[in-house]
DNA sequence: GTGTGATAGTGTAAAAGTTACAGTAACAAT
DNA sequence: ATTGTTACTGTAACTTTTACACTATCACAC
């Protein structure tokens, strides 16, 4: 009886990958896992992800791989782009549906186990497969979406100060903003509201705590009509 | 010898679909083809597309299916979204990488053969598979991209009048614009330039002919910095 | 309890951009 | 020459964006 050829050598395999971001310690971090797939990808790092099975959607595959490998359950994610270059995985023909994921700093801390590592985005070097390209795509997308959505909500705790919010914008956008103008702009968008609570135990004037309005990621009409 | 189970029944199959748009006769049209896949999809219409083979990228698959089935070669397209619902194709498990394509009105006329039909987007009824959902996604994406890219270039001939350009915007955005303000805005974007040529043979004052600057689809910084 | 260090919080005037709005110009056809 | 049709243009009111600096409130050290 002839040895059977595994399916993945005969046809296109579908995988999901996730670029999980978190902002802490003054930098945008990405979650990486160890990759060991001889002969091409040995002792490298890469994005978390894996095969999408026949009985699951891409979203289900993302959740399964993140909660399994990384113990990550509380996460926001959305589809980013599907990568289909022929050489992107040197062993098989794998098309990867890449995703952009966001977790809060506290969730990020909880996840540092199972070999998952948070690396500042600007210190990432050669990753397995085409994961550098996927990462670059995700960074651009995230920086863009900050400007016309309230997606930043998934990087911050329930209650946060305006300065914390501004810091996240500055880190991801890689630019600084005037404090007064930033506050005017953000407050005019009606995406956050003052909770009435204040910071406690800080060695300076305590800041007001704000919270995001609504629960979903939505677009904010910033673009002027022609 | 047991009958072999086709690969597509055992694993996820990857397909590409394309929402090809063109603007003419005062309406946004989409290109549809006949679908006949008993038992579920009989005598229906759907989007052009097909399987992505192991030896080709998604872009190559798109070009192969469009030039083959439809005789369509001169087209701009970009990836839209990847659809992976379990029930989206009732026969197999098919993940579809959907694309958004644009052709000029003259190219659209050339394509009316091989069963391909241009249907005004607002007259489209039930399509095969989940193609209505894909179409809706594409319409939203196109209308959005008009505002912050020069993607509209692929819907117009090399040389065009400002009124023609405005009409395309109005049809896709489903709103009207003041002629003077539209011109000021478009000209301030530096995406088009006056060719110096004029319309000829029209029974009214001839309009100046404009042309797009550059050759690629690029983003136009419309969004004010925070 | 006073002083210090640190961050929070606030207003305004100039500039730029957006909006609303109507009449003259240039062509073909008659 | 008249008519019908579309091209083309400017400005004032309004809104948004930008640039910019000082006071307020807390913990802590003394």
CA dist., res. B134 & res. B21, Å (int): 13
| Average pLDDT estimate for B34-42 | 91
A5 touches chain B (CB under 8 A): no
Q: Using alpha carbons, list the distances in angstroms from residue A5 to B7, B94, B102.
A: 12, 22, 41
Q: How many Cα atoms occupy the beta-carbon half-sphere of B204 within 13 Å?
A: 2
Of residues B7, B52, B223, nearest to A147 (C-beta): B223
CA of B121 to C1' of D24 (A): 59
Check residue B63 and give its pLDDT: 97
CA dist., res. B170 & res. B150, Å (int): 15
B28 pLDDT more than 50: yes
* Residues with Cβ within 8 Å of residue A77, at least 6 apart in sequence: A18, A20, A59, A62, A99, A100, A101, A102
Global pTM exceeds 0.75: yes
- Cβ of residue B221 lies below 7 Å from strand C: no
Residue that is written with structure tokens 């405005």 in the block: B166
Please identify every stretch of chain A with a pLDDT value under 70, giving residue numbers as ranges: 1-10, 221-226
Q: How confident is the model at residue B69 (pLDDT cuts 50, 70, 90)?
A: confident
pLDDT tens string B75-134: 999 999 999 999 999 888 999 999 999 999 999 999 987 778 999 999 999 999 999 999
**Nucleotide closest in space to A204 (CA vs C1'):** D26
Query: Tell me, what DSSP letter sits at residue B85?
Result: -
Give the number of other Cβ atoms within 10 Å of residue B15's Cβ: 23
Q: Higher model confidence: residue B219 or residue B128?
A: B128
CA dist., res. A22 & res. B204, Å (int): 60
SS (HEC) of B174-218: CCCCCHHHHHHHHHHCCCEEEEEEECCCCCCCCCEEEEECCCCCC
Domain ranges across chain B: 5-144, 154-210
- Cβ of residue B200 lies below 7 Å from strand D: no
Residue of A2, A80, A82, A177 to mutate when probing chain B, most B C-beta within 10 A: A82
- Listed in sequence order, the DSSP H helices in chain B are 58-70, 105-110, 131-148, 162-173, 179-188
CA of A184 to C1' of D15 (A): 14
| Average pLDDT estimate for B46-71 | 95
* Residues with Cβ within 8 Å of residue B87, at least 6 apart in sequence: none
* Residues with Cβ within 8 Å of residue B131, at least 6 apart in sequence: B17, B46, B47
Please give the protein residue whose CA is closest to the C1' of the nucleotide D20. Answer: A178
Q: Which CATH superfamily is domain B5-144 in?
A: Nucleoside Triphosphate Pyrophosphohydrolase (3.90.79.10)
B198 pLDDT more than 90: yes
CA dist., res. B145 & res. B173, Å (int): 10
B148 touches chain A (CB under 8 A): yes
CA of A113 vs chain B CAs: smallest distance (Å): 31
pLDDT tens string A188-202: 999 999 999 999 999
Paired tokens of B112? 């009316």
Check residue B210 and give its pLDDT: 98
- Cβ of residue B204 lies below 7 Å from strand C: yes
Check residue B2 and give its pLDDT: 47
Three-point CA angle A11, A14, A17, nearest 5°: 150
A200 touches chain B (CB under 8 A): no
- Cβ of residue B206 lies below 7 Å from strand D: yes
CA of A186 vs chain B CAs: smallest distance (Å): 8
Paired tokens of A47? 């994005």
The strand pair at B27-37 and B117-120 is best described as antiparallel
> Do residue B57 and residue A186 have CB atoms under 8 angstroms apart?
no
CA of A167 vs chain B CAs: smallest distance (Å): 13
- Contact yes or no for A24/A139 (Cβ under 8 A): no
**Nucleotide closest in space to B162 (CA vs C1'):** D7
Q: Which bases along strand C come within 7 Å of a protein CB atom?
A: 5-12, 17-22, 25-29
- Contact yes or no for A161/A213 (Cβ under 8 A): no
Check residue B10 and give its pLDDT: 62
The strand pair at B94-102 and B13-24 is best described as parallel
In chain B, residues 64-83 whose CB comes closer than 8 Å to chain A = 79, 81-82
Closest among A119, A148, A162 to A20, alpha carbons compared: A119
3-state secondary structure of A63: helix
Residue of B61, B77, B82, B222 to mutate when probing chain A, most A C-beta within 10 A: B82
Check residue B214 and give its pLDDT: 86
pLDDT tens string B138-189: 999 999 999 989 999 999 999 999 999 999 999 999 999 999 999 999 999 9
Please give the residue of chain A at the shortest CA–CA distance from B13: A12
Closest among A36, A22, A130, A10 to A72, alpha carbons compared: A22
CA of A200 to C1' of D19 (A): 33
Domain B154-210 architecture: Orthogonal Bundle (1.10)
Q: Which bases along strand D come within 7 Å of a protein CB atom?
A: 4-11, 16-21, 24-28
Q: Higher model confidence: residue B215 or residue A105?
A: A105
Please give the residue of chain B at the shortest CA–CA distance from A10: B54
Distance from CA of residue B114 to its chain's centroid?
18
């Amino acid at each position: 009886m002839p040895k059977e050829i595994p399916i993945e050598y005969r046809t296109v395999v579908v995988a999901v990958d996730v670029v999980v971001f978190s902002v802490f310690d003054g930098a945008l971090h990405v979650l990486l896992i160890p990759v060991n797939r001889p002969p091409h990808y040995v002792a490298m790092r890469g994005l978390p992800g894996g095969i999408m099975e026949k009985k699951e959607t891409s979203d289900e595959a993302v959740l399964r791989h993140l909660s399994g490998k990384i113990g990550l359950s509380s996460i926001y994610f959305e589809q980013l782009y599907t990568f289909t270059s022929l050489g992107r995985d040197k062993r098989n023909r794998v098309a990867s549906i890449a995703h952009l994921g966001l977790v809060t700093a506290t969730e990020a801390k909880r996840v540092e186990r199972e070999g998952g590592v948070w690396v500042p985005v600007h210190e990432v070097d050669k990753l397995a497969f085409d994961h550098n390209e996927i990462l670059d795509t995700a960074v651009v997308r995230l920086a863009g979406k900050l400007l016309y959505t309230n997606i930043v909500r998934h990087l911050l705790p329930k209650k946060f100060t305006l300065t914390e919010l501004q810091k996240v914008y500055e880190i991801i956008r890689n630019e600084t903003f005037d404090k007064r103008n930033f506050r005017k702009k953000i407050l005019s968008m009606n995406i956050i509201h003052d909770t009435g609570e204040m910071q406690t135990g800080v060695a300076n004037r305590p800041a007001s705590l704000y919270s995001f309005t609504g629960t979903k990621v939505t677009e904010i009409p910033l673009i002027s009509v022609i």
